Amino acid sequence: MSKRVSKVAYKPVGLVLGIAAGALAGAMFRQVWKVAAGEDEAPGATDEERGWGEILAAAALQGAIFSVVRAAVDRAGATGVRRLTGRWPD
């Protein structure tokens, strides 16, 4: 399989994995926030009753979780494509 075909074949896989990673990261963040803050809902950026520290901490935690989950899912997807095609997707 050519490099170009492998890359094109990975695009839809990467798209589906990205959507799944976002959903998984969101669910993980909600659970971590419940444990960390003892609240069901994380503060939004425009929540007038929350302070800067709490809002920025929630955003940083959410970003970190999303980045780690996305990297893990992307890496697993690329490894799976290599196993199927013999080539690493670029």
State pLDDT tens for residues 54-84.
999 999 999 999 999 999 998 998 898 888 8
2 pLDDT band (50/70/90 cuts)? low
pLDDT score recorded for residue 3? 66
The DSSP code for 16 is H
Identify the CA nearest to 28 among candidates 65, 73, 83, 70.
65
pLDDT score recorded for residue 80? 86
Q: What is the spatial distance between Cα 10 and Cα 25, in angstroms, rounded to a whole number?
A: 21
- Structure confidence by residue, pLDDT tens digits, 4-47: 666 677 788 888 989 999 999 999 999 999 999 999 999 999 99
Only one residue has tokens 């809002």, namely: 55
Q: What is the spatial distance between Cα 90 and Cα 83, in angstroms, rounded to a whole number?
A: 14
